[in-house]
A and B are shown apart, each in its own frame.
Chain A
Amino acid sequence: EVQLVESGGGLVQRGGSLRLSCAAYGFSFSRYWMSWARQAPGKGLEWVAKIKPDESEKYYVDSVKGRFTVSRDNAEESLYLQMNSLRDDDAAVYYCVLLLQGITYWGQGTRVTVSS
C-alpha cells in the first residue's frame, strides 16, 4: 500500500526558508516521478513541482520557479522541497504526491504558515 508521510511544515517569516520532507513506503520509490502539490487555506489544489526518478528533470509551477527546489534521495526513499524567499501566497498545506497509472496518491499534508 502506498504511504506518503510529510514533515517539516511550520511557521516561517515572510522571506524565510523551510525544507519539507516526505518519506515514501509501499512502492518502488526509485522508479517513479514524484511531486509536491499544495492547497492554500480555503482554496483549490495546485501542482507545485515534479522530479524524475534520476533527478535529471525537474519542473515547477511558474509561481515558485527560482525559489523552490525539489530533490530526492532514492536510497532513503525520500522526497524534499526546499522553499526559499517565502511569500504570503505560499501559505498552504503541502502534499507529497505520487501519480501512478492515473491515480494521484496523497500524503496527509504538512502546513506552511507565512507570517509578516
Chain B
Amino acid sequence: ETVLTQSPATLSVSPGDRVTLSCRASQSVGGNFAWYQQKPGQSPRVVIYDTSTRATGVSARFSGSGSGTEFTLTIGSLQSEDFAVYYCQQYDGWPTFGQGTRLEIK
C-alpha cells in the first residue's frame, strides 16, 4: 500500500495569500494523483486529477504539479470559499489518501 504524507497539517493564511500544499508518496504513483477539497458536513470534491488537470468548475486559482513521489497543490490568491481541508489521493493500484491539510484563516 502506498502511504501519502501531506505537509503541513495545518496552514494559517490570509485571504489573498498564495499557498502551496505538499504530498509525498512512499513509492512512485506515476501521474495517478488527485487533490480533494472537503468542507464540514460535505463529501470531498475533486479539485485536481491526473496530477495537474483542473476538474470541471474549479477556479484557475488552483493548480497541481509533480510526478513520481512528490506532488503539490498551489492556490493563488486565496478566497474565503477556499478555506477547507485538502486531501491528496493516489490511484495507482489500491487508492490511498493523505491525512489532510487544513487551511484556516489567520
A binding-site residues for B, Cβ under 8 Å: 35, 44-47, 59, 61, 95, 99, 101-104, 106-109
Contact = CB atoms under 8 A, between A and B. Distances in A.
Q: Is the interface of B mostly helix, strand, loop or mixed?
A: loop
A102 B32 contact: yes
Interface of B: 32, 34, 36, 43-44, 46, 49-50, 53, 55, 87, 89, 91, 94-100
Which 10 A-B pairs rank lowest in CB-CB distance, beginning with the nearest? Answer: A102-B49, A106-B43, A45-B97, A102-B50, A47-B95, A44-B99, A103-B49, A103-B46, A44-B100, A44-B97
B99 A102 contact: no
Contacts of B89: 45, 104
Contacts of A107: 43
Contacts of B36: 45, 104
A99 B95 contact: yes
Contacts of A99: 91, 95
Given A47-B95, A102-B34, A102-B49, 16 more contacts: A44-B97, A44-B98, A44-B99, A45-B36, A45-B44, A45-B87, A59-B94, A99-B95, A102-B53, A102-B91, A104-B34, A104-B44, A104-B89, A106-B43, A107-B43, A108-B43
Contacts of A35: 95
B31 to A, nearest CB: 9
Nearest to A99: B91
22 contacts: A35-B95, A44-B87, A44-B98, A44-B100, A45-B44, A45-B87, A45-B97, A46-B97, A61-B94, A95-B43, A99-B91, A99-B95, A102-B49, A102-B53, A103-B34, A103-B46, A104-B44, A104-B46, A104-B95, A106-B44, A107-B43, A109-B43
A102 B53 CA distance: 10
Contacts of B95: 35, 47, 99, 104
A94 B49 CA distance: 22
B55 A103 contact: yes
